[in-house]
Structures are given as C-alpha cells and as structure tokens.
Amino acid sequence: MPEYLAPGVYVEETSFRARSIEGVSTTTTGFVGPARYGPTDLPLEVITSIGEFEYIYGDGRQLQYVDAATGAVEVQHNYLWHAARAFFAEGGKRLYVARIFRKHDDTLADDADVDTSGGLLYNDGCARASFPAGAPASDQITVRARFPGTMGNLRLRFVVRVGQNILSNETVSESPAVIETRLGALLPRDVVLVHDLDPSQSPPAVVDAIYVAERDPTHTPPWRFVQDAPAIISPPAFPPAASSLRAGERDAVRVVSLTLIATAADGSEQVIGADLPLDPGHLRGDTRDSLFDRFGRDPGSAAQARALPVVISRGANIVTGIDVLRALVLQRPALLQALLNPEASDLERTVEIELRGGNDGRRPGSTEYEGTAPLDAMTKTGLKALEDVEDISIVAAPGSSHGYEGSYRREARAIMGLLIAHAELMRYRIAVLDSGDGQSIAQVRALRATMDSKYAALYYPWVRVLDPITRQEIVLPPSGFVAGIYARNDITRAVYKAPANEVVNLALGFEQNLNKAQQDVLNPEGINCFRFFEGRGYRLWGARTISSDPEWKYVNLRRYFAYLERSIDKGTQWAVFEPNGELLWANVRRTIEDFLLNEWQSGALLGEKPERAFFVRCDRSTMTQNDLDNGRLVCLIGVAALRPAEFVIFRIGQWTGDRR
C-alpha cells in the first residue's frame, strides 16, 4: 500500500484488465547426433540456417568410424547434416543441435595413439601438431584442434608480421631547438625488432635485434628494451635505451605480431587471428591478449570457443615472446632473414604446420545419446544438454536407427527409448522416431510393437533425395523432414491442424512405395507413412502417435495440449506468492478464459459457443481447506479439442426426380 504522509495530490497507475497469456513457440526443434566437427559440451546455440549449422558443426561429407579393435572402417552418411538441411528446406526456423562423439577407448589417454591401417589417429579425435620438430616437449608449442573430427586436420599458417616504424622525432621547443624521440603505438611486453645504426664507428655499425619492450618511467621516452632469453639475432653488449635511438633513416623500431590462417581440406581459408602479440604476459588494458590467451583452452565466451578451431599451448620453457619467435625460426630457419628484410612478403615470413590424427571416433551408442550432466561442471552432453533449452518442442536423433536390422539393433532401440523418456520428462515435447533403413512392413510393425507412448510418433519409410555432396541418390531418415513439416504446418496453418497431407519438398521418392492396402495395415498401429500420389506428389500421409490410449491417438492433439499447457504455465507465473483468495481466483479465471476465447475464435476448439468449447473453474469447488492451508491454488480447465478428419466419408444414394 502506498503511504500518504503529506497533504498533496497523488497520481497512481492501476490496471483494470486481466493479464494476458502469450502462446509459446511450437516449432523449435532439437537434434542429437554425430557431426564432422564442432563442440560436444558447450551451451547450445540456436541455429537458423544450414549455413550457420556448417559454421559450427562442419559440412555434410560422410563420417568415417574406426573400430580400433578390429581396424574396420564404417563409412556413414552425415545424417545430422542432412536432417538439418531437410528441416530448413521443409520450413523449419529454429534448431538446436547437441553433437555427440565417442572415443576409441575410454581407458586410454586423450592423446594416446590408436593403431589403424589408415595411419595415426588420436584417441579423443582431436588433430595435433607440435613445433619445432625434434625439440623437447618443454621447448615446443603445441597446436590441437579444439573439437574432435576429421575436419580438425587443418593446415595452419603462422604469418610473422613486422609493423611500420613507430620511432619518430617531435619538436618540443623551437628556440632553443629541442627535439625528443617518440615511440608510437607500443604496449608493454610487445616484441619489437630494433634497427640501431651507430655512426660513431667506421664503417657505421648496424645492429638488428629482437627485444621485449618494457615501460620505464625513468627514461624519455619511457621505454627500455630487454631480452629475458638468449637472443635470436646477436644483440650488442647492452640493449639500446629508447632515448639512444634516433628517428629518420638511422634507426627504427617495429612491432612484431602473428597472424594465423587456417586452411581446411577443401582449400577454404579463414583468418582466425590477426596481429596477435607473441609474449604470453602481454596485456591490453587489464586483459591478457597474447596468442596463448586467445587460443587457450577456456576462451572468454562460448561464442569465441565455437569460432576458434584450435587450442595453442606452450612448453615450460616458452616464457617470453622471444621464445615464441625462436620456436618459429627453428621450425623454418629462412624466417630469420625475412624478418630483417622490410621488403619481405608474408609468404617468406610464414611458418606452416599440418594438424594430423583427427578422426570421427567410433559410432556413438545409446550412452553418448543419453549424455552426461556432471554435478561439478556446467558442461552437459547429448539429450541432457537439450534439457536446458526450454523452447524446444520437437526432438529427434536423425540416423540413430541406421542398421536397426543389423548389428546396431540393440543400440538403436535403446536410443528410441531415451528419446521417448526425454519427451515424457520434459512434458511439452514430442519425439519424432525413425524407422530402420531397409525395413519391410513386417519389420516396422515389429518395431512399433515394442513401444507405447503419447509423446512420440513413428515414421516410415526412409526418404530418397539427391545428395548435394556425392551427387548420388541416397535414402535419409524421416525425422529431419517431419520436424520441418511440423514447423511449416504450425506457421502456415496452426499447431492444432494435423501435420499430414503435406508435400515433402526435397523428396525424389521413398525407400519403399506404399499402396493403400499396405497403409491399411500400418495406420491403425500408429505408423505414419509417406506416400506418393499421382498428380499430387510425395506427401506425408499420417498423423498418429504410438499411444495405445485412444484419447491421445493424434499427433496434433498431443502437440496442441502441450502448447496450451506450456502457454498457461508461462503466462500464469505471476500468480505465485500472490494472496490466495477470491480476487486471485477471479484474476486467474479471467486470464485463462481470455486466452481460450482467442483459441476458440481462431478455430482451435470445437463448439458453436464459447461455453461449449471450454470451461475454467477456480473457486471453492476446486479447492478444499486443506489445499488453502497448504498454499495450493487449483484451477480446473476443460477444452473441446478438434480431432483431424482422418476419414472423409461421402454417402451417396439414388434420388428420383419427382421426390421432394
């Protein structure tokens, strides 16, 4: 209550309308599966196009799983990439991806070598390289791909760049003439190349040396040059003071920095770091910004981690920027001469290394799909990572059913169970399940018989498309297409409309062409089919869940109730801790009634009048005194939801012309 303590006019704002409920999104999708590259344990980022997917998780080339025990290599289509492409092509807008990866052997160290006929592979799937070659580990700089995958086998170029001369003269006084030496853009711990000409000697002596700049207020200009390590280029007995240098043609001070360029296997190049300081102790403001800080194991943000493909670390003896430069020179001795030549090109001052040993690991199983959620860490993987994203309403594991009728049956069946359990746990989600590749009608019926849930739907058969990578026809699991069709249906029509009788845009056909008689067998069992209709194209022709409960037989009914429940859940959070009395009950009733009235007016509910379409009760009839004593507000809501016209029946009989 406001306080009125002094006489005066008080103007207050008050509301005379019920709070509104905003409908939640029903199109946001979550995929889990293996990819060519990308993070496996970072917080998930929303993806809105296939280009964004490729930027984070790599391209659509095939995956190569290696069984270290047998040496067998299994080449598999990149089903996650294909599903993302199908999702956006069919009308999807927002996608979250949880990438998973399986090491070759959990008992081995991450950097352990795995002997295979294909050459060197590392156990954790991350490519690596160290330089200078042959040096002790304490004297080496190590570069490792940040994420596992064959796309981590990059070619990395370290371009040593020598900046412009920052030494200049400034006239302090005209009479008498006083000229001071100035140093331009210089920061403490910058590595500098100093060109010092001493005209007192005959012939004049020229000394070029590498130093680390340190700020020294006792000098004018306030800098001194030091070497905390053995020199790369032989310096004079004493490093020159900044005050002893003279600008013009005589002396020069140039800042040395590094630019990193990554080249992928397809030849595409990306500048991943420009003009980076060499010294590990370099600061810009209060922030460390050296080569090792920018490419450290824990960069400043998850966005930076996704954008930086490598991790660079140093041995114990790499202490200063001079040590870093020495390692580069030892890797390529010709670099030293190029440093002294201001006219040298970037190519002459480049050290190139190749990261090797990156691989796609073994084919993930149900353990990887389930994921982990350590209590002592913020990192989650697999389906556990999708639990943190509230907006997701559709989940799938594209490609997890590949090989169901082969050796992968047990894992594939377990993954389907995990998807169903995840959807039931999160309540407002539906799991899109794939049938196995190459399954017959009898086999897919046997698969369906093992499951029963109102939170999942099963689709059959696989979809035939043209692979843009291999330019060959391939068959893909339905889930990516179905999730996109769900999204398109919700956007163009509404979530209460059954997501069926919709065209599959990318389809060239299906793995098996079904006729009406065959669908007559599958449809009653809750197996949603893809069909081809002459003159109408390739269509999704089913919208049933795998539930044995007839009340939740239809996908749109399940998804519409999830939409209603979550919208009311989010839209009534304001009621928590409010005084639990008649005023609150009336406000809650009005809020929900207004929301359901809008739903009825949009055609989502059955009934010619609002009172026949829904009811909302929140009063003494829904709450006992025990509920009130325990702080419970109970609201009873009933809605007459629409079911799809799955069977359209026209009864036609004969009529005589003289009959009224």
Provide the CATH number for the domain around residue 43.
Answer: 3.40.50.11780
Strand partners, 252: 195
User: What is the share, in percent, of the chain residues with pLDDT greater than 70?
Assistant: 90
Tell me what the mean pLDDT of segment 237-260 comes to. 71
Is 128 part of any domain? no
Containing domain of residue 348, as a range? 157-352
Q: Average per-residue pLDDT in the chain? A: 88
> Domain for residue 470, yes or no?
yes
Indicate if 458 and 527 belong to the same structural domain: yes
Number of domains composing the chain: 3
The SS3 assignment for 53 reads helix
The whole-number average pLDDT for the span 627-631 is 95
Facing residues of 430 across strands?
394
In this structure, the number of other CB atoms found within 10 A of the CB of residue 546 comes to 26
Q: Is residue 94 predicted with pLDDT exceeding 90?
A: yes
Is residue 107 included in any domain, yes or no?
Answer: no
| Most confident residue range from 279-288, 372-381, 387-396 | 387-396
Please indicate, yes or no, whether residues 543 and 643 belong to a single structural domain of this protein: no
Tell me the mean pLDDT in the region 25-41.
95
pLDDT, tens digit, 9 for 90 and up, residues 589-604:
999 999 999 999 999 9
Q: Minimum mean pLDDT among 48-62, 180-194, 413-427: which range?
A: 180-194
Res 116 pLDDT > 90: no
**Cα(386)–Cα(412) distance, integer angstroms:** 19
Cis amide leading into 132 (omega within 30): yes
Calculate mean pLDDT across residues 128-150. Answer: 92
Percent above pLDDT 90 for the chain: 64
Of 268 and 485, the structure prediction assigns the larger pLDDT to 485
Same domain, 235 and 348: yes
| Within-domain flag for 23 | no
Q: Please give the Cα distance from 560 to 372 (Å, whole number).
A: 31
Residue 524 is classified by DSSP as G
Position 56 pLDDT exceeds 90 = yes
Residues 324, 371 within the same domain: no
What mean pLDDT comes out for the span 181-190?
81
CA angle 231, 235, 236 (to 5 degrees): 145
Note whether 168 and 313 are same-domain residues.
yes
- Quick check: is 448 in a domain? yes
pLDDT at 202: 46
pLDDT digit string, tens, across residues 301-343: 788 888 899 999 999 999 988 899 999 999 998 888 888 887 8
6-15, 99-108, 406-415: which is most confident? 406-415
Task: Name which of 618, 617, 639, 619 is nearest 563 in CA terms.
Answer: 639
Residues 393 and 315 in one domain: no
Of 215-219, 480-484, 493-497, 602-606, the poorest mean pLDDT is in: 215-219
In a domain, 290, yes or no: yes
Residue 567: how many CB atoms within 10 A of its CB?
A: 20
Buried b (16+ CB within 10 A) or exposed e, 194-207: bbbbeeeeeeeeeb
Based on the fold, state whether residues 394 and 314 are members of the same structural domain.
no
Which tokens hold the place of 537? 């194209």
* Distance of alpha carbon 556 from alpha carbon 564, whole angstroms: 12
Question: Exposure pattern of 527-544 as b/e (b: 16+ CB <10 Å)?
Answer: bbbbbbeeeeebbbbbbb
Q: Say which residues have a Cβ less than 8 Å from residue 436's Cβ, sequence separation at least 6.
A: 401, 402, 403, 404, 405, 412, 443, 444, 447
- pLDDT band at residue 1 using 50, 70 and 90 as cut-offs: low
Indicate whether 227 and 336 sit together in one domain: yes
Q: Given pLDDT bands bounded at 50, 70 and 90, which one contains residue 660?
A: low
Query: Does one domain contain both 514 and 368?
Result: yes
Same domain, yes or no: 39 and 59: yes
Mean pLDDT of 364-376: 91
CB distance 105 to 276 below 8 Å:
no
Q: Are residues 531 and 606 in the same domain?
A: no
pLDDT (tens digit per residue) in 522-554: 999 999 999 999 999 999 999 999 999 999 999
Mean pLDDT of 10-26: 87
Question: How many whole angstroms separate alpha carbon 22 and alpha carbon 570?
Answer: 8
For residue 109, tell me if it sits in a domain.
no
Query: Are 333 and 410 within one domain?
Result: no
Average pLDDT over residues 246-258: 76
Choosing from 532, 556, 580, the residue where a domain stops is 556
